[in-house]
Amino acid sequence: MSDFLHAFARRFAALDKDNLAHLGELYSLDALFIDPLHEIRGLAALQRYFAELYANVRDLHFEFHGFDTVREGGNEGEGYLRWTLSYRHPRLAGGRLIRVAGCSHLLWNDGKVYRHHDYFDAGALLYEHLPVFGRVIAWLKRRLA
């Protein structure tokens, strides 16, 4: 069990629009952040991304429920965090709470993450909750089932 992963998850979950300056305590200057919708290089770009994210959503919350270390030694390591994201967006799902399960693969050195790759269903996060597009996706899922 990694102390680094637990500390990172606790500090990441505490982020909000008012304390994004703390990203520099979590990520290296040259950090690479990847998810199904974005690829962001560098701490400054990551801070802009999170500022936009937090400006447009409400009730953003991460619940971490898995901490798996692949390797750890010296000042570096690799591991996975399993999580459930909950959030509300006024233009998605009628403002109702949306929950999405995902996993983050992290590489860190000297106490900071330099590569963060998130894996989740982009449809469950966003597309399925768009007014017209969501109905099309729901229809396609029923047809394929």
Residue 28 pLDDT more than 70?
yes
**pLDDT given at position 108:** 97
If you average pLDDT over every residue of the chain, what do you get? 86
**What total of structural domains would you count in the chain?**
1
Residue 127 pLDDT more than 70?
no
Residue 10 pLDDT more than 90?
yes
**pLDDT given at position 137:** 58
Cα–Cα dist 101/117, whole Å: 14
Mean pLDDT value of segment 30-57: 93
Structure tokens, 38: 């974005």
Tokens 């447009």 -> residue? 56
pTM, entire model: 0.83
Range of the domain at 129: 3-144
CATH code of 93's domain: 3.10.450.50
pLDDT tens across 85-111, in order? 998 888 776 778 888 899 999 999 999
Burial letters for 45-75: b for 16+ Cβ neighbours within 10 Å, e otherwise?
ebbebbeeebeebeebebebeebeeeebeee
Mean pLDDT value of segment 25-45: 96
